[in-house]
Structure 1
């Protein structure tokens, strides 16, 4: 290539580059009339949108459900806002998007007519003129809870019941007597006894522990909207209740408990041929025997008893069948009327509402007047109660509250939680036979319990 041709090509490339720069600059100048740095500017307006139209107002418990229609032909409306002034003089505000057809305005107390202002807001922040709604809500959840509240003496304290049909969240505050100075007594809130309600079925609670003397209690209800009811006051005498001393509880051997690290055949080991009574269970070893249910330890891996297996020696495994009932028998060394029991399972997460943790059980009782207690069962014993453990909403998605309850607060009130109409829940007894009937996973071949804690009114010691 000669020098003239090289210069000619260079000049051509330079001209093309200049043309491209000119074209790009022209395009940028055009687009910059509506943009900045290549980002589209939001166009704003100062024109207020028209008012919304109210279609219907539906009274709710402590709330108003307001149905509305947006102004037609205005696609720029972004949200609807409703507000009112509560009884504390504070402005309460609620918002929904343009895609909603109603707005729920909550937090009312009382059933008198209330005034709510509604407006719509567009993308430019312009707010329409207000539309005023006047309507009366239904009785609020906190007022209903107080109106329906029942308080009665219970073992070791008092029982509180209320209604919460919609499962609204609120708090029940407990007040107890506090002596300010000699001769002057007032009710002060006990912050350790706060009751939280947020469902429609679990609407009772026990307040413990309190001495078995007549005393004053007070209750009021509050919610997240800062509403607060009047205070309900009453005098009650809790029933006497004591924690049963686990050191006094002793396993007995009259029903032939055994210790072997594995399942045993039902026909060979389960039934006492002399009495026809099912023997106590076969435990995994002496370190896992019935006495481990009563040692005050709630975080170990203690009591471990196998279910007997029918046809265990049959070579056809399909014919083998677990006998779900397993027993353990104790001398409490006291005459007692039980008020409640607590079960502490193995603490591992795999046992929470699962595996060998006990789901259904019975408590049988008798005393020294029953001279045939070791030769006849159950006909000479008294069924104190039968109890069934709770199920979580979903075993695969346990909540923190469900886990906490199962591991540390799994309590059964002897009378109220009994599911067997033939039980005599108020009977007193010295000897107890615990019948385990079902585990959370019934195909597991054993039961486990860490601690079986008992409370009641002790009549006398032996």
Structure 2
């Protein structure tokens, strides 16, 4: 019995077909150099037993990489190069019996890698409670931008990592004291290549969380009618549960808004709203919103005298269909949906939260809590 079982195992591990003959070599290679990569076009041998084409190359760090494509492809891309040096790539044709052809060696000369291009594009400016980084990523590669600073033990460590495939954009690092601070920033790609680190000193702009106990609703004629025990006061009670919440009624229609008094004038830096449990990225949760501000709201409920402070679209981290949540989605919901304001925005006291669209394309809006940050000086 053991001999039979062992024989079966050996049979499973052996190639399905093996004629013992290697296919012919790859021929007529043509190289197109790219940023941190190269595309190699070629002719494949006319061997009916051919299974795939393999490219083997070694990075400057000594890492051996392989790229494989099926027999039906006439080109492949080798990537992950950290500089513009010449690299040798060896191409093999491999058949169903894992017999490899004679090698074809070619040399590629990659252009400047994307992580270096992004590093060159970085622009850093002070922001409320931290700093903002603007970047350009023209190739659209998956990259990480890492911010470093001293932790509580004085160690110079990463304090924020921003992942992106966007061709351009910006992100903020917040929650820092308004004192001159040493920072570092570098860019990392998915192959582990790192740019050099830019070191700089910067003083974050002052911000503080505004006192929620001073905030209260201001009902104006055009505000959305409430329903289902919903109230504006529940947005400022400090409770992220479902006990008290904002909820509009049956007569509400999109777009719709409500108004509240922060109790103090402030140059706002950011705000967060928290979704109702059971409604994360779903149903009546605000998805596309506008935030307006003023020092003197018009009593007729119009937008006369109001300034548009921000337009924001909520994005579900996982991209899963409505009703399905990943741990990333849950973590994002618990952290709150953050809306940032331009440093050029005026000082305001009254806020109008306008919902253009919820997650169900319906007419209700509900959520649990609002928090505000800014400078009241």
> What residue is the counterpart of 1:385 in the other structure?
309
Unaligned runs of 5+ in 2: 1-10
C-alpha contact 1:346 1:357 (8 A) present in aligned 2:
no
Is the partner of 2:376 in helix, strand or coil? strand
Shift of the 115–395 alpha-carbon distance from structure 1 to 2, 3 Å rule, reads: same
Cα displacement (A) at 1:201: 5.1
Alignment of 1:84-123 (within 5 A): 84-123=57-96
> What residue is the counterpart of 1:27 in the other structure?
none
C-alpha contact 2:212 2:238 (8 A) present in aligned 1:
yes
Shift of the 91–386 alpha-carbon distance from structure 1 to 2, 3 Å rule, reads: closer
> What residue is the counterpart of 2:371 in the other structure?
453
Matched, 1:129 2:102: yes
Cα displacement (A) at 1:245: 2.3
Cα displacement (A) at 1:238: 0.8
Matched, 1:415 2:346: no
Of Structure 1 and Structure 2, which has the larger fraction of its residues in strand?
Answer: 2
Matched, 1:230 2:218: no
> What residue is the counterpart of 1:337 in the other structure?
267
User: Larger relative CO (CA 8 A, sep 6+): 1 or 2?
Assistant: 2
Alpha-carbon RMSD across the aligned residues, in angstroms, is: 3.3
TM-score by length of 2: 0.83
C-alpha contact 1:352 1:407 (8 A) present in aligned 2:
no
Question: 1:203-261: CA deviations, max 9, x gaps?
Answer: 422112111111111112223323121111111111111112212323356x4xxxxxx
TM-score by length of 1: 0.69
Aligned equivalents of 1:358, 1:396: Cα separation in 2: 12
Q: Which has the greater radius of gyration? A: 1
Alignment of 1:226-305 (within 5 A): 226-252=192-218, 255=220, 277-278=221-222, 281-285=225-229, 288-300=230-242, 302-305=244-247
Alignment length (residue pairs): 363
Partner residue of 1:427 out of 317, 337, 346: 346
Of Structure 1 and Structure 2, which has the larger fraction of its residues in helix?
Answer: 1
C-alpha contact 1:169 1:223 (8 A) present in aligned 2:
yes
Matched, 1:188 2:156: yes
Shift of the 119–249 alpha-carbon distance from structure 1 to 2, 3 Å rule, reads: same
> What residue is the counterpart of 1:346 in the other structure?
276
Unaligned runs of 5+ in 1: 1-36, 256-276, 310-320, 417-424
